[in-house]
């Protein structure tokens, strides 16, 4: 299973990249840290997209929840009216529809809550990533300043600079070590059970029997309420 967006944010914010850079021998930290900064920028873009998706999901679920609750209330009035006019068949149809709506309401409520929580988490992730990016940019600037100072000292002392092939090899070694250390992929096997067609038919019949019983119970409750008035 590949790295999730939230776990990726955690990895980037936790400073794992910097720890790896410091542990790599024959490294070019400025190259590796520059890559890490670009990865943070890409993560911010992805998180913003996910934040927009969560907001849309919350909005749609909230609208659907309001409509479902309103329909449920309207059906209660219609069921009462049908019973008052001796229309048990119409009352049963209304009750069946109420039961369908009641099955959806908890899921819609959960969706609204989860989407809201996801929005908060993603918003905090963006802030954390941006803060980490500023820190890494500062670290990179400090490193580059130190390198320039050391280069100036080496030049004055007549030190020989490493040739291009040595530099290329160091960059390649650092990049490969960085990629290997940050690799976070694993496989998860998911096993599911199976049922025969005969079993499925029996389960469907049992579900329908239970549904009919609930309708009859609800109908009796409505009648008892009407008689008590």
- pLDDT-based confidence at residue 49 (cuts at 50, 70, 90): very high
2 — phi, psi (to 5°)? -70, 165
57 and 50 Cβ atoms separated by less than 8 Å: no
| Structural domain span for residue 132 | 5-163+174-187
In a domain, 205, yes or no: no
In a domain, 56, yes or no: yes
Q: What CA–CA distance (Å, rounded) separates 29 from 165? A: 17
In a domain, 212, yes or no: no
CATH number at residue 156: 1.10.287
pLDDT in tens, 61-97: 999 999 999 999 999 999 999 999 999 999 999 999 9
pLDDT of residue 196: 64
Instruction: Report the domain count for the chain.
Output: 1
In a domain, 11, yes or no: yes
Mapped onto helix, strand or coil, the DSSP state of residue 85 is coil
Average pLDDT value for residue range 52-64: 96
In a domain, 12, yes or no: yes
In a domain, 32, yes or no: yes
**Higher local confidence (pLDDT), 150 or 183:** 150
9 and 129 Cβ atoms separated by less than 8 Å: yes
Q: What is the DSSP string of 9-71?
A: HHHHHHTHHHHHHHH-SS--HHHHHHHHHHHHHHHHHHHHHHHHHHHHHHHHHHHHHHHHHHH
Contacts 24+ apart (CB under 8 A), 163-167: 167/28
In a domain, 182, yes or no: yes
Asked whether the predicted pLDDT for residue 187 surpasses 90, the reply is no
- Which one-letter DSSP state was computed for residue 86? T
Mapped onto helix, strand or coil, the DSSP state of residue 187 is coil
Asked whether the predicted pLDDT for residue 140 surpasses 60, the reply is yes
In a domain, 85, yes or no: yes
Average pLDDT value for residue range 36-49: 89
């Amino acid at each position: 299973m590949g790295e999730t967006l939230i776990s990726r944010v955690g990895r980037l914010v936790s400073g794992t990249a910097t720890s790896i850079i410091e542990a790599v021998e024959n490294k070019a930290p400025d190259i590796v840290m520059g890559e890490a900064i670009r990865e943070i920028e890409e993560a911010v873009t992805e998180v913003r997209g996910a934040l927009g998706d969560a907001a849309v999901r919350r909005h749609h679920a909230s609208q659907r929840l309001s409509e479902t609750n309103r329909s449920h209330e309207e059906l209660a009035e219609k069921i009462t009216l049908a019973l008052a006019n001796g229309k048990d068949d119409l009352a049963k149809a209304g009750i069946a529809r109420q039961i369908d709506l009641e099955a959806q309401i908890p899921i819609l409520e959960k969706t609204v809550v989860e989407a809201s929580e996801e929005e908060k988490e993603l918003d905090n992730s963006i802030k954390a990533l941006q803060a980490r990016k500023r820190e890494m940019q500062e670290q990179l600037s400090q490193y580059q300043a130190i390198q320039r100072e050391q280069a100036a000292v080496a030049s004055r002392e007549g030190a020989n600079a490493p040739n291009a092939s040595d530099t290329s090899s160091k960059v390649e070694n650092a990049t490969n070590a960085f990629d290997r250390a940050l690799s976070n992929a694993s496989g998860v096997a998911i096993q599911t059970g199976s049922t025969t067609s005969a079993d499925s038919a029996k389960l469907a019949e049992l579900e329908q029997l239970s549904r009919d019983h609930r309708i009859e119970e609800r109908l009796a409750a409505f009648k008892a309420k009407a008689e008590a008035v």
